[in-house]
Amino acid sequence: MRITGLGSGLDMDKIVKDSMKPYRIKVDQIQQKRDIVEMKQQLYRDVIKDSRDFNDKYFTTAKADSLLLARNWATTKFESSDSAAVSVTGLAGGKSENYKVTVDALATSSKATLNITDLNGVRDTINVVYNGKTVDIDINGLTSEKDIANKLNTELSSLGMKAAYSSFSNGIVIETMETGTKIGASANTFVMTVGAGTTVSNQVNGKDLEATIVGANGTIVYDATNILGKNKVVIDDVEFSFNDLTTTDVRITGKTDTKATVDKIVSFVNDYNVLMEKLNTMTSEKRNKNYMPLTEEQKKEMSESEVKLWNEKTKQGQLNRDSDVTRIVSKMKETMTSVMGASIDLKSIGIDFVKDYGTKNGTFTVDVDKLTKSLENNSEEVMKFFIATPPDGTPENEKSIKTGIFQKLKTVLYEETGSVSSRLIKKAGIDGSSINELTKNIEEYNKKMAYMEKDFARREQNLYSKYAKLEVTMNKYNAQQTSMVQQMGGN
């Protein structure tokens, strides 16, 4: 605490602070520049996060409800009188039909059971030949069946086989991952040799599925003469899964149900509109230069709610006409209006542009009835329009017209906000990251502010020291004057 001005009668604190005001303004201006960069960085990061969240919600194929998965475009549902034996799933394009199904045999893998007695004391090598490939497995030093099973399972995976210890089978069950009697042109069987030539003899080769599927008109659409090594078969975009043998006909009843698919598309459009409006607002709202970042002194004079409101006003317009966000908006709009050589477009299936050139520019409305009818009548074409991918070998100049618009939009979002090499992420980074252009700028401002604050304190102290000397001098003069007065009064 400084006490000054007793000798001079001057308010030294006020004089020093007034003298330092021009320099304090310079420090505050650097702080405001830094705060604006921080605001812009957070706004950019909001764009990145919102875009990533949108992409993850609809385009991440690891999620069961992803719009890029063909099964989520199915508009036909099926009920089974015995789903434990036969379950049926309608795929995109599948028609609502009724079927009768019988299962006489399931497709099985080729397998064998190996136990300790088969090893005959051998703790050396097990040789397995399967599908033209050979592997030698060293089990030297392994004494328990479980340890041997784990080693076999690891080594056999490269052949498309697996192994597991089974107490029920009293040994190690070794089997192929493929079911049926064939793998392409080869037999689905393997040869296993233990030690110096003992070949396992209890092996059972794979078997094929034996099932019959009869359509509603009595036509057999699949029977035992169709050799199939899988327990699944797709007939006219309807997938049949065979889980157990049957003793009576399993009745399959189909019905058209587009609600789930329509709901997913409507949800997509709604979320897309929210994202687009936010980006449009960021790039179109004007900046009010009367609202600059508050200094610490200004914040002390305002309530918490006033500071919050002021900061919101300051953020507005910081990305006005920003080139990066504008580019993302343009790419999204271009993608959603692109075509892929299909016989349909967005408008023909009930999705139309909002006629607006403000913040709703590039957003859509959905005619649910029209969309529903499009899915009922032509779900496969609608699906291809959205999620088709070009076949391998497609020339570069033809890929665009053979790529669905959701696939294109996913690519745009990844390139702009998902990839670490994207312009926006290099510029602003994501929350918690420090290697980006704006963080570097903020750090430079912080260094400059630290230097200026240190210099400010030095300058301020020099002024106080200067005025302190003046106080000492004034005190001496005052003392001399008092002494003279006293002397004159004494005469």
- What's the pLDDT tens digit per position in 351-409? 999 988 889 999 999 999 999 999 998 888 999 999 999 999 999 988 988 999 999 99
Give the pLDDT score at 121.
60
148-158 CB burial, b ≥16 within 10 A, e <16: bbbbbbebbee
- C-alpha distance from residue 63 to each of 59, 83, 92, 351 (Å): 8, 24, 18, 25
State the pLDDT confidence band at 4, using cuts at 50, 70 and 90: low
Is 233 exposed, middle or buried, given 0-12, 13-18 or 19+ CB atoms closer than 10 A? Answer: middle
State the pLDDT confidence band at 489, using cuts at 50, 70 and 90: low
Give the pLDDT score at 201.
64
Q: pLDDT tens digits for 173-220?
A: 999 999 999 888 889 999 988 876 668 667 899 999 999 999 988 888
Q: Is 126 helix (H, G, I), strand (E, B) or coil?
A: strand
313 CB-near residues (< 8 Å, 6+ apart) = 288, 291
DSSP 402-432: GS-HHHHHHHHHIIIIISTTSHHHHHH--TT
DSSP 425-488: HHHH--TT---SHHHHHHHHHHHHHHHHHHHHHHHHHHHHHHHHHHHHHHHHHHHHHHHHHHHH
Domain boundaries, the chain: 42-65+261-428, 76-105+209-257, 109-199
For residue 7, is pLDDT > 50? no
* Cα–Cα dist 162/156, whole Å: 6
259-292 CB burial, b ≥16 within 10 A, e <16: eebbebbeebbeebbebbbebbebbbeeeeeebb
Give the pLDDT score at 6.
47
The residue with greater pLDDT, 51 or 19, is 51
For residue 143, is pLDDT > 80? no
**Which one of 3.40.50, 2.60.40, 3.40.190, 3.30.70 gives the CATH number of domain 109-199?**
3.30.70
- Residue 328 amino acid letter: I
For residue 474, is pLDDT > 90? no
Q: pLDDT tens digits for 210-242?
A: 999 999 888 888 886 666 789 999 988 899 999
Q: pLDDT tens digits for 40-54?
A: 999 999 999 999 999
243 half-sphere exposure, CB direction, 13 A CA radius:
11
C-alpha of 9 from chain center: 69
Residue 364 and residue 269 in contact, taking contact as beta carbons nearer than 8 Å: yes
Mean pLDDT in residue range 266-281: 97
For residue 419, is pLDDT > 70? yes
Scan for tokens 């910081």, then name that residue: 318
The pTM of this model reads 0.74
Percentage of the chain modeled with pLDDT above 90: 62
Identify the CA nearest to 320 among candidates 279, 275, 274, 363.
279
Residue-averaged pLDDT of the chain: 89
* Listed range (314-323, 334-343, 403-412) with the worst mean pLDDT: 334-343
State the pLDDT confidence band at 123, using cuts at 50, 70 and 90: low
For residue 1, is pLDDT > 60? no
Identify the CA nearest to 73 among candidates 383, 378, 372.
383
- Pairing status of strand 198-199 against strand 210-215: unpaired
- DSSP strand E in 186-332: where? 186-187, 190-194, 198-199, 210-215, 220-222, 232-235, 238-242, 250-256
Give the pLDDT score at 3.
47
> Which two structure tokens, joined as six digits, stand for 477?
């003069």
* Cα–Cα dist 29/449, whole Å: 10
Q: Is 73 helix (H, G, I), strand (E, B) or coil?
A: helix
- Pairing status of strand 250-256 against strand 232-235: unpaired
Report the residue count for the chain. Answer: 491
* Cα–Cα dist 294/300, whole Å: 10
99: part of which helix (H) or strand (E)? strand 99-105
270 half-sphere exposure, CB direction, 13 A CA radius:
9
Is 202 exposed, middle or buried, given 0-12, 13-18 or 19+ CB atoms closer than 10 A? Answer: exposed
The span from the first CA to the last CA of the chain, in angstroms, equals 43
